[in-house]
Structure 1
Amino acid sequence: MTVSATVALPACSGTSRTKAPTFATAARLRPIAGQRVVERSVRAKATSLDLGGTTVETWAFGDTAPGPLIRATAGDLLRIRVENELPADTSVHWHGIALRNVADGVPGLTQAPIAAGSSYLYEFIAPDPGTYFYHPHVGVQLDRGLYAPLIIDDPHEPGDYDLEWVVVLDDWVDGTGRTPDDVLADLTGSSGDSSDSNSSDSMGGMDMGTMSMGGAPPFGDAGDVTYPHYLINGRLPAAPDVLRGKPGQRVRLRIINAGADTIFTVALGEHRLTITHTDGFPVQPQDTGAFYIGMGERYDALVTLGDGVFPLVAAPYGKEGQARALIRTSSGAAPDAAVHPAELDGPILEGADLQPSDASRLTAREPDSSHAVHLSGQMMPYQWAINGAPYGKNDPLMINEGDRVRLAMMNMTQMTHPMHVHGHTFALPSGLRKDTVLVKPKSSLAVDVQADNPGDWMTHCHNIYHAEAGMMIALKYRK
């Protein structure tokens, strides 16, 4: 086994502004005999949204947030044309899908950005069923309304449930007197201080306390941004989205954290949830009253409904406020918008503690190579890095097709970082398959990737402000 590490370089904020590379027009994909083609059109545009009594000016896919659900079956060919009606460049990343490199949606790495007034055709085959979502990969556009669910169905799954509910969580600031670009400017300003941020030095020295719930291990500093609103399916707690069902029905929840800076704790009042999947892959079913979900993570759960009106609550870890939706199976008054389900005070499941199903494990194999992925950063000045330098100044992780590659992540900060690898899934030491994982403060986590999807891929923190301030690195196949 060979070991590769990058020499530490002085960190600096921001991404590289070097001359953008040129990209050839992507080769069209043609369906094979019997393959279904799913064709959709998505418009990125400026719009007004009613969050439930509060109207905001934002950017969204169409006129809703979340944007339009795209649904297909594993093995389908997807053709999705993105029309950019925004006053800025954009792109779309299909988060969690092991697709072909040219469709991954990372400007400067896999494509040129989609210029204002133009369009881009994304064509790819979705190989794995699961709960996914799509969002831009330009600046901090994810922290606007530009996100939507993408569901890839399993043709072999029995579907032993009565209802399905796609639940998208979000932290919201856009159109409330600030934009995400304003927030980023405050964070990266010369003063290094902002009313939107915690002012601790994330490199160490200042302990932000446990900020834990129900005795669970802490995630450290809760985030950099104070949000006025938290949403479920685009709705405020006082005007919630509602799922209507009948007592005794089984519901499949597909829960997506599309937030930019917030880990949520999710619970359904007076119910136990059975977690069945994480990031698209099946796990050994795990019963829990509540669970954590980091930015970019997805969890599927089954629940049998009781008789009444029940709050589905997403509490932002270490922050004030909450998101709330309702499940209604009978008449009666809804619980208060500030309701605090008792399940939030009990044991809370961490996704990394789940056990994989046998079918979702990578074939056992020793790694052929190992790469250090050292996470560092600070609040003042606002700078984040991998392997000692921000994206554009750090050396890519170079790998060989066919290798089993170990990414040795070491978090040297006081914050938890949701680390996401594009174009691949990875296995935790337990064998659990994911594409996004929470790496806790002052801790290490080694994950194994099967190098079976050639191209140039991004690996980054899914806190969008950390990523934009430099916590990204390219993972490239040797030619």
Structure 2
Amino acid sequence: MSPTLTRRRLLAGIAGTVGLAGAAGVAAWTGGLFDPRLVAPGSDLVARTEAARRRASGRIVSVALNPRPVTLDLGGRQVQTWGYQESAPGPLLRARAGDVLRVEVTNGLTAETSVHWHGVALRNDMDGVPGVTQPAIAAGARHTYEFTVPDPGTYFYHPHSGVQLDRALYGVLVVDDPHEAGRYDQEWIVVLDDWVDGTGRTPDDVLASLQSMGGHGDMAGMDHGGMSGMSMGGMETMVSPLLGGAGDVDYPHYLINGRAGAAPVTFTGRPRQRVRIRLVNAASDTAFRVALGSHRLTVTHTDGFPVAATACDALVLGMGERADVTVDLGDGVFPLVAVAEGKGGQGLALVRTGAGSTPSAAVRPPELDRRVLLTGGLRAADAVRLERRRADRVHRLVLGGSMMPYRWTVNGATFGKIDPLVVGQGERVRLEFVNQTTMFHPMHVHGHTFAVADTGVRKDTVIVVPKQTVAVEFDATNPGQWMAHCHNIYHAETGMMINLAYQE
């Protein structure tokens, strides 16, 4: 790769023009990507790739999002925050594979924002990354996203602007498969989150404190991990036996569908019904271990793509990961628990199919300590397994950083000070995530679904535990400028992010 293809050159002229691409009225970012050897988001190649996705049978699904200040009820506690509606998560968006999703965003915030469509292999100029694929949506302004949703699955949406994800600015996007048999009686959508906003600190306060105190200090009752697994001022690093260093913020609340465990949401069903549960980890700094008391879970999909059906007692999801599971319901009242992995709290929801007493918010089902799976260890269903092929290009991403100073890197540098990872259209690309830190990192690649090399499971977000390497492969068939980053929002915001750039 040419050393002149630096991030600084990429973003030279960032105040470039905004033009029209695709359907009338859809703003696309045509300026800002300076080097002519790289495929710009507003390029003809991006437009042609999108046109090839369009299907004659596809509908146009039009929705509106209005990020704005809201009052959120966590279950007895009212907090002031930012959201898409007066509850969390935001509105459920639903389409069929092959449909065109048209989303008009009206920014009611006092800050710039954006919307990223996490996990969707969409057109590059709709990916929602300010300064790379579009200009930020200014306060009071409108912006329209329009793109084909090509693959069925469970996805979600959130800003790619600062640490806004660590508020109520997230929601679920379900893309249905019109050919799926649907062998279940009900569907539940379960969204996991860690919560601090409105409890005396904002996410921006959290970030500022981490940066100023190296992750160590009194933050309104929140403890923070130390550096390199060491004790800091009498506090031990938050550590998971499965993941290693488990995060930087021990939140005051952990939520399921916007509710704390003291006032949990309740899912109702009937004994012997089969339920499909779509699990989404929308948290910013927390992995969750999920179990349903007195039940086993069968994992059928991860990050939208089918896997060889696998039974387990509990499932670990890193930030940004999703999983679909099925469960055959028993008779009674059962706790659906999401333990903050390596931390001190948990989220709770109830499953009620009959009579029974309500479990306490601190209930810990024994399933949490039985057969526990991480989604990266699952195996792809044969229908979606990536064809065997030798990699045309290999990029090694060394993940580094520490709590003091609070700085997280890829290949020794922070975002904006590092060359992009250049790929060519049609290449088989191998990314090797090498974790040299003592913390786990859920690594997410925009615009693509990759295969984890050891298992073949198709994903867009994969956990990389300390001192380990995880290799993934994908086919470079979605041109443009894409981000690869840690989905711990505080790690990404302080540097653990890099550009994946197609060359002409």
TM-score range, shorter chain: over 0.9
Equivalent AA in structure 2 for residue 200 of structure 1: G
Q: What pairs with 1:145-156 in structure 2 (closer than 5 Å)?
A: 145-156=168-179
The one-character-per-residue Cα deviations of 1:205-240 (angstroms, maximum 9, x if unpaired) are 78978944xxxx531111001200000000111111
In the alignment, structure 1 residue 433 sits paired with structure 2 residue 458: yes
1:22 Cα deviation from its structure 2 partner:
2.2
1:431 Cα deviation from its structure 2 partner:
1.1
Q: Is the 8 A contact 1:101 1:455 kept in 2?
A: yes
Q: What's the counterpart of residue 246 of structure 2?
A: 222
**Segments ≥4 residues shifted beyond 2 Å:** 4-7, 16-26, 28-35, 190-202, 204-212
Q: Which moved more, 1:184-193 or 1:252-261?
A: 184-193
Matches of 2:100 and 2:91 in 1, distance apart?
Answer: 18
Q: What pairs with 1:159-174 in structure 2 (closer than 5 Å)?
A: 159-174=182-197
Work out which of the residue numbers 151, 154, 157 in structure 2 matches 1:131. Answer: 154
3-state SS of 2:311 partner: strand
Q: What pairs with 1:54-453 in structure 2 (closer than 5 Å)?
A: 54-189=77-212, 193-195=216-218, 196=222, 198-202=224-228, 211-212=239-240, 218-429=242-453, 430-453=455-478
Work out which of the residue numbers 20, 23, 27 in structure 2 matches 1:29. Answer: 23
3-state SS of 2:367 partner: helix
Q: Is the 8 A contact 1:417 1:440 kept in 2?
A: yes
3-state SS of 2:188 partner: strand
Structure 2 CA distance for partners of 1:190 and 1:246, relative to 1, 3 Å: closer
Structure 2 CA distance for partners of 1:396 and 1:426, relative to 1, 3 Å: same
Equivalent AA in structure 1 for residue 467 of structure 2: K
1:340 Cα deviation from its structure 2 partner:
0.6
3-state SS of 1:262 partner: coil
State the Cα RMSD in Å: 2.1
3-state SS of 1:359 partner: helix
Equivalent AA in structure 2 for residue 62 of structure 1: Q
Structure 2 CA distance for partners of 1:224 and 1:111, relative to 1, 3 Å: same
3-state SS of 1:161 partner: coil
The one-character-per-residue Cα deviations of 1:186-219 (angstroms, maximum 9, x if unpaired) are 00116653334534224x778978944xxxx531
1:27 Cα deviation from its structure 2 partner:
1.1
Equivalent AA in structure 2 for residue 461 of structure 1: C
Matches of 2:107 and 2:121 in 1, distance apart?
Answer: 24
Equivalent AA in structure 2 for residue 438 of structure 1: I
Matches of 1:28 and 1:78 in 2, distance apart?
Answer: 13
Structure 2 CA distance for partners of 1:191 and 1:410, relative to 1, 3 Å: closer
Structure 2 CA distance for partners of 1:43 and 1:143, relative to 1, 3 Å: same
Matches of 2:165 and 2:196 in 1, distance apart?
Answer: 11
Q: Is the 8 A contact 1:187 1:197 kept in 2?
A: no
Structure 2 CA distance for partners of 1:465 and 1:6, relative to 1, 3 Å: farther
Work out which of the residue numbers 470, 476, 484 in structure 2 matches 1:459. Answer: 484
Q: Is the 8 A contact 2:300 2:308 kept in 1?
A: yes
Structure 2: where are the runs of 5+ without partners?
A: 25-53
Q: Is the 8 A contact 1:278 1:351 kept in 2?
A: yes
Equivalent AA in structure 1 for residue 500 of structure 2: L
3-state SS of 2:350 partner: strand
3-state SS of 2:258 partner: coil
Q: Is the 8 A contact 1:6 1:372 kept in 2?
A: no
Matches of 1:21 and 1:361 in 2, distance apart?
Answer: 42
Equivalent AA in structure 1 for residue 493 of structure 2: E
Matched pairs, number: 464
Matches of 1:360 and 1:458 in 2, distance apart?
Answer: 23
Structure with the larger RCO, 1 or 2 (CA within 8 Å, 6+ apart): 1
The one-character-per-residue Cα deviations of 1:28-63 (angstroms, maximum 9, x if unpaired) are 338764321100001000010111101000000122
Structure 2 CA distance for partners of 1:17 and 1:155, relative to 1, 3 Å: closer
Q: Is the 8 A contact 2:224 2:237 kept in 1?
A: no
Equivalent AA in structure 2 for residue 186 of structure 1: S
Q: Is the 8 A contact 1:356 1:431 kept in 2?
A: yes
1:25 Cα deviation from its structure 2 partner:
2.5
Equivalent AA in structure 2 for residue 474 of structure 1: N
Q: Is the 8 A contact 1:96 1:423 kept in 2?
A: yes
Equivalent AA in structure 2 for residue 20 of structure 1: I
Q: What pairs with 1:46-57 in structure 2 (closer than 5 Å)?
A: 46-57=69-80
Matches of 2:16 and 2:87 in 1, distance apart?
Answer: 33
Structure 2 CA distance for partners of 1:354 and 1:190, relative to 1, 3 Å: closer
Matches of 1:310 and 1:23 in 2, distance apart?
Answer: 55
3-state SS of 2:212 partner: coil
3-state SS of 2:372 partner: coil
Q: What's the counterpart of residue 14 of structure 2?
A: 20
Matches of 1:180 and 1:425 in 2, distance apart?
Answer: 29
Matches of 2:396 and 2:466 in 1, distance apart?
Answer: 16
Matches of 2:338 and 2:3 in 1, distance apart?
Answer: 39
Matches of 2:404 and 2:223 in 1, distance apart?
Answer: 10
Matches of 2:17 and 2:391 in 1, distance apart?
Answer: 33
**Length-normalised TM-score, structure 1:** 0.93
Q: Which moved more, 1:244-253 or 1:355-364?
A: 355-364
Matches of 1:446 and 1:26 in 2, distance apart?
Answer: 38
Q: What's the counterpart of residue 13 of structure 1?
A: none
